[in-house]
Amino acid sequence: MRHTKILVILILINLAPLASGCEEKMSAEKIATKMQENQARLEDYSGTINTTVYLNGEKNQEEVQVMYKKPNLIRASSLNREKVEEVFDGKFIWSYDTGTNTVTKIKLPKNPFLTEKDYVRLIGTFLNESKISMLGVEEVGGRSAYVLEAEPKIKENEPHQFFRTKIWVDKKTWMALRCNIYDNKGNLMTEVEIRDLKINTGIPNSEFKFEVPARAEVKTVDLDKALKVSENMSLEEARQQASFGILIPDRIPEGYVLNSTIIYDTKDIDPESPDSQIAILSYKKGDENFYILETVYQSKSEDDMLMQKAEKININEKEGKYLNESGNLKMLQWELGHVEITLGGSLEKAEMLKIAESIPEPSTEFYILGPGGKADNYPTDYVLGENRTVIVGITNHEYKPTNYTMEVRLENISLPLAPEQKYIRLGHNETWEKAITITPPFAGTNMMLAFSLYNEDKKDILERDICLPYRDLHLLINVSQNVTGNTSIVAR
């Protein structure tokens, strides 16, 4: 969502008053006071924000012209080739993509995401989790600015992504003119600079009125409706609403309880975003909490840039990534099947790993038993025209109700099955076990009797609409006028 990126840039700009005179270090209270004083004096500003991101040897730049007016009017116009214009008029966010001639109209929630008090709280949190020092005074775009450095307060040798941040604060306006973020090796990751800064010029309200271009398609999103979640949504209700099986850890740290469950589709919030569904499980113990975010993408357009430089870590023989972003917020990310899982919170790394390792991967058991209900004495010798039985079992561990389709083939020729044996629906942890009658229609030796199980929610389709079975088993059988005594089973 492009307007989210611009919101982040504007927050960075407003994280400005981090010094007073030439003091070496300031308390969060003094910073909050300076912020309030600055906000009280600031009526409007305009300028050009240049953002440069350095990632994997590549340099990506974006220039955005911004106008802001109290209390909540913003206009942002991208100057890049893919031109996007965004207007926050106090009631709606209007986002116009010139390439597709599409307007996204987002109705703002009744309760705003960020207020002036939130900005002050963000600054206080930033300071409490950082060591702030004065580096000196430098010129930025002809303005004299204090140069400050912030390093996260972390435990020694604990991996993290952001090693330090440098901020250039205008001595006259207390606005951040530049902000550089470096990784733990000292490499510059992100650089944000505001140029041609003008403050309190009396920007008229008409600058924040959006006119829908001719023949543009308008898509409307109501954030209050999109983000509306039942206050008492239970885990079972969430599982009924989710299109995938919500995974639950077997291990929860002592004292923590599941506090809330949220399900939403990204398309309901941003029609232009990649289609995905997200489940958020929030666990709480007093004032402490951690969350598990589970995402299923229809098509994932790009990797999470935040996790690009995270530490690679092993979780039950699967590759994961661990990131200590600021010392207090830690993140662990990995995939189980088609579900991307992010575990976040202030827990220690070892505790997070234990939680992650206790989350079982969704699966389905598919098995064949002999007539006695045991995994032996399989009927593999048949007389043409006669029938014998095997027991087929299915157990659903997919964490949601699942529709299965079963097929039985002899040498790739379909054998008849009753509808209740062909189409099977099972709830989570439910088992289906039935005797299946096999009547071979032709004779032969060492013929493959295949049992194929398809999960209707997880179909791997090859070319020409050929589906791969989700699970399959087979027996090798002989069919003749004489009993041969050959017995074998192959499972895969």
Least confident of 48-57, 108-117, 142-151, 388-397: 108-117
pLDDT band at residue 4 using 50, 70 and 90 as cut-offs: very low
Q: State residue 249's pLDDT score.
A: 94
Q: State residue 327's pLDDT score.
A: 52
- Chain segment 291-302, per-residue pLDDT in tens: 999 988 765 655
Q: State residue 183's pLDDT score.
A: 77
Segment holding 177, helix H or strand E: strand 176-183
- Alpha carbon distance 423, 412 (integer Å): 19
| Distances in whole angstroms, Cα of residue 321 to Cα of each of 205, 338, 360, 380, 438 | 46, 17, 18, 49, 49
Residues 453-463: what's their mean pLDDT? 73
- Chain segment 462-476, per-residue pLDDT in tens: 555 678 899 999 999
- Alpha carbon distance 342, 334 (integer Å): 7
- Alpha carbon distance 15, 175 (integer Å): 8
Q: Which runs of E-coded beta strand occur in 213-362?
A: 217-222, 257-265, 276-285, 288-297, 311-315, 318-324, 330-336, 339-345
By CB neighbour count within 10 A (0-12 exposed, 13-18 middle, 19+ buried), where does 156 fall? Answer: exposed
pLDDT band at residue 489 using 50, 70 and 90 as cut-offs: very low
Q: State residue 16's pLDDT score.
A: 42
What's the predicted TM-score (pTM) here?
0.58
Instruction: List Cβ neighbours of 125 (8 Å cut-off, separation of 6 or more).
Output: none
Residues 474-485: what's their mean pLDDT? 79
Least confident of 87-91, 198-202, 467-471, 486-490: 486-490
Which of 76-80, 126-130, 425-429, 464-468 reaches the highest mean pLDDT? 425-429
Local structure of residue 108 (DSSP, 8 states): P
Q: Following DSSP, what letter does each residue of 345-401 receive, concatenated?
A: ES--HHHHHHHHHTSPPPEEEEEEE-TTSSSS----EEETT--EEEEEEEEEESSS-
* pLDDT greater at residue 26 or residue 271: 271
Local structure of residue 482 (DSSP, 8 states): S
- Chain segment 216-263, per-residue pLDDT in tens: 999 887 766 655 544 557 888 888 888 788 899 999 999 999 988 888
Least confident of 62-76, 113-127, 244-258, 308-322: 113-127
Which of 48-62, 175-189, 413-427 reaches the highest mean pLDDT? 413-427
Q: State residue 228's pLDDT score.
A: 56
What's the mean pLDDT when you consider all of the chain? 80
Residues 155-160: what's their mean pLDDT? 52
Structural domains in the chain, CATH included, are 2-219 (2.50.20.10), 229-357 (3.30.200.100), 363-491 (2.60.40.10)
Alpha-carbon radius of gyration of the chain: 30
Q: Letter for the amino acid at 396?
A: N
Q: State residue 24's pLDDT score.
A: 39
* pLDDT greater at residue 246 or residue 82: 246
CB 399 within 8 A of CB 239: yes
Of 15, 355, 325, residue with least CA distance to 174: 15
- Alpha carbon distance 297, 65 (integer Å): 33
- Chain segment 158-203, per-residue pLDDT in tens: 545 456 888 888 877 777 889 998 877 788 888 999 998 888 999 9
- Alpha carbon distance 354, 29 (integer Å): 38
